[in-house]
């Protein structure tokens, strides 16, 4: 049995929902590894939190950065209990403050540049795949490991196959990247089932963050809640689920 506090690593935790997840887990008594692609932003974010919080550099699109992060976690902590794949981008056009309306219009399937789709998938899909594969050996050293992938209801094929008011936001970039992330979540859940490592996807609601030009309507506290709930489930918790707050099943 593990007697030390559980150790959780959150990617993209220097701002937004990831920072709130890190804060909530630290307040719950966990040791939190606050991962950030920019070390200065990670350091500054970690200083705003209470509890046992350690900033760590991790760019999910950079193999050398991922390897260095794994080595650092191994040498300092020896294992990982919870991996939260939260880092993501919604666009790669270099326009941080683009309005949602402009983003939705120019990201339609007939218009979005293939290069932008590749860049979004590099972070949201291949980044999660690479980070998860790299940390599985450390998760195997935990006696109760789990992986939480922060996905999006926008990636649900079932939801988007039927008419609904926000359907135009489903595009080959962000929307489809989250569909692929859901598929990868299920693949890891199947692969790791016999070892007892739990792998689940969660979705925040429409949350006010940089990802959507701060046009979201939920607070980051609300946005983080389901990821935190699933991260804190015990060894009897389910695997291979896709849920929103509070344990609401979202169709794949």
Residues making contact with ligand NAP (CB under 6 A): 11-12, 14-18, 37-38, 41, 58-61, 86-89, 123, 127, 150, 152, 203-204, 206-207, 209-212, 216, 223
Whether 166 sits among the annotated catalytic residues: the reply is no
Taking the complex as a whole, the smallest distance from the CB of residue 44 to ligand NAP amounts, in Å, to 11
Annotated catalytic residue within 174, 198, 208, 214:
174
Taking the complex as a whole, the smallest distance from the CB of residue 85 to ligand NAP amounts, in Å, to 8
Taking the complex as a whole, the smallest distance from the CB of residue 194 to ligand NAP amounts, in Å, to 28
Cα 14 from Cα 19, distance rounded (Å): 5
Whether 174 sits among the annotated catalytic residues: the reply is yes
Phi first, then psi: what are they for 152, rounded to 5°? -155, 140
Taking the complex as a whole, the smallest distance from the CB of residue 207 to ligand NAP amounts, in Å, to 4
Cα 198 from Cα 220, distance rounded (Å): 25
Return all residues near 51 (Cβ < 8 A) that are at least 6 apart.
26, 27, 29, 30, 32
Annotated catalytic residue within 27, 141, 166, 178:
178
59 vs 144, beta carbon nearer ligand NAP: 59
16 vs 173, beta carbon nearer ligand NAP: 16
Phi first, then psi: what are they for 153, rounded to 5°? -60, -25
Q: What number of other Cβ atoms are within 10 A of residue 129's Cβ? A: 16
| Beta bridge partner(s), residue 53 | 32
Q: Whose CB is nearest to ligand NAP? A: 16
Q: Does residue 185 contact residue 151 with C-beta atoms inside 8 Å?
A: yes
**Residues recognised as catalytic:** 174, 178
């Amino acid at each position: 049995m593990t007697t030390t506090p559980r150790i959780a690593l959150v990617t993209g935790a220097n701002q937004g929902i990831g920072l709130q997840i890190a804060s909530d887990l630290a307040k719950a008594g966990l040791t939190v590894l606050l991962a950030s692609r920019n070390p200065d932003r990670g350091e500054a974010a970690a200083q705003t939190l209470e509890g046992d919080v350690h900033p760590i550099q991790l760019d999910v699109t950079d193999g050398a950065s991922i390897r260095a992060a794994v080595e650092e976690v191994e040498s300092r902590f020896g294992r990982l209990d919870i991996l939260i794949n939260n880092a993501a981008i919604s666009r790669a056009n270099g326009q941080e403050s683009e309005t949602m309306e402009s983003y939705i219009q120019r990201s339609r399937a007939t218009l979005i540049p293939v290069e932008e789709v590749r860049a979004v998938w590099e972070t949201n899909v291949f980044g999660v795949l690479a980070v998860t594969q790299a940390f599985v050996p450390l998760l195997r050293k935990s006696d109760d490991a789990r992986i939480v992938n922060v996905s999006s209801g926008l990636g649900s094929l079932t939801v988007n196959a039927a008419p609904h008011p926000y359907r135009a936001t489903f595009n080959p970039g962000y929307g489809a990247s989250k569909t692929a992330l859901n598929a990868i979540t299920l693949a890891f859940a199947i692969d790791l089932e016999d070892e007892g490592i739990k792998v689940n996807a969660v979705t925040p609601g429409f949350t006010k963050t940089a990802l959507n030009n701060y046009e979201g309507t939920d607070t980051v506290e609300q946005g983080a809640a389901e990821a935190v709930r699933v991260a804190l489930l015990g060894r009897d918790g389910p695997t291979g689920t896709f849920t929103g707050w509070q344990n609401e099943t979202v169709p794949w």
